[in-house]
Amino acid sequence: MRRILYYAASALIALGLIAALWIFQERWARLSTEDRPSPAAPERALAHYLRAVYARDYAAAYPWLSARDRAVKSLDEYLRENPSSSGAALHLARGLAERIEFLDVQSEIGGDRAILRFNVRLPDANHPVLQSLLSDLDPDRLAQLSESELQHTQRQINALAKEGKLPMLEGEERWEMIRESEGWWVFLDWSGAVQVRFEARVMAGLPWEFKAVQESVAAKPGETLQAAYRVKNLSDRPVTAKARHIGEPKELADKYLEIVQCFCFIQQTLAPGEERDLSLVFRVHWEAPEEVREFRVTYEFYPIDRFPED
């Protein structure tokens, strides 16, 4: 369940599109982040949430989450873990969202819970045809598109769809909703998520301050999330260093915790007194056993000339 969405997420992440979807025939509407949305039927609530998440408009998605989830993860934490799209990427995401097909809905409502199952067909932005139109999913190149170039790209996508040539992915989805305050809200059950805890160490006399911006992240299996560390050079000279990460429990982390992008892959040079935020992208594998409740990730920063050879 949700495998097609998480696969699409890995294909679309450079463009800023996480594939969590529900497409109705109404116009796209940006939601206010200052007020909680009005209570809605489960299908409508899920529609608002998934459209916002597809476009990586996470500030608009967050209000549609259940109160139980929002009690676990604040809006600031949610936005830190899920960087949002803007500009051309957001515009193209909305255009692609209009082409997603939502099929064979099955609703099971029992008490204050509802399970919605459906089939989905969505544009495959990892396909060479769409990658070419979308500037190889490069957000910097997309940001440089003029208004006329952006409209031309959208017309090309529309033409592919009209001719039945738009590359598509297909899969099945299952989402859980919960009834609160006379309406239905998306229930992610963050209280039952895997806790990924981040620790920091400076090694071998490195004159840096180094700490995790957020010490713990609640991660549902399959979610692609971002975390960050902050470093500061405490010395009066430029210093080059490199980090390595250690996942624990080691055997389970090696198998079920994936570091997708990481500052540890390249060396870092800080000027005297310079402070910098360093990000990483990670996910807990969707096949992680239910008994896995926690991972610990420790980053060790070494002076470049004392970085362990192994």
Q: Worst-scoring range by mean pLDDT, 134-143, 256-265, 295-304?
A: 134-143
Q: How many whole angstroms separate alpha carbon 278 and alpha carbon 295?
A: 20
Token representation of residue 299: 């980053």
State the pLDDT confidence band at 306, using cuts at 50, 70 and 90: very high
Sign of the Cα pseudo-torsion (164, 162, 55, 150, in order): positive
Q: How many whole angstroms separate alpha carbon 176 and alpha carbon 185?
A: 9
pLDDT given for residue 7 in this prediction: 54
State the pLDDT confidence band at 40, using cuts at 50, 70 and 90: confident
Omega prior to 308 cis, within 30 of 0: no
**Pick the residue with more confidence: 226 or 43?**
226
What residues contact residue 243 under an 8 Å CB cut-off, 6+ apart?
A: 263, 264, 268, 299, 300, 301, 302
How much is the average pLDDT of 179-195?
Answer: 94
Average pLDDT, the chain: 86
> 193-306 has which fold?
Ctag/Cox11 (Pfam 04442) (2.60.370)
Work out the percent of the chain whose per-residue pLDDT is above 70: 87
pLDDT given for residue 1 in this prediction: 47
Dump pLDDT digits (tens) for 144-160. Answer: 888 898 899 989 999 99
State the pLDDT confidence band at 19, using cuts at 50, 70 and 90: very low
Q: Worst-scoring range by mean pLDDT, 89-98, 102-111, 237-246, 271-280?
A: 89-98
Work out the percent of the chain whose per-residue pLDDT is above 90: 59
Q: Worst-scoring range by mean pLDDT, 27-36, 47-56, 100-109, 188-197?
A: 27-36
Greatest mean pLDDT among 93-102, 129-138, 189-198 = 189-198
Whether 43 shows a pLDDT value over 50: the answer reads yes
How much is the average pLDDT of 171-179?
Answer: 93
How much is the average pLDDT of 257-261?
Answer: 95
**Pick the residue with more confidence: 254 or 12?**
254
How much is the average pLDDT of 252-257?
Answer: 97
How much is the average pLDDT of 238-243?
Answer: 98
**Pick the residue with more confidence: 136 or 93?**
93
Q: What are the residue ranges spanned by the domains of the chain?
A: 3-188, 193-306
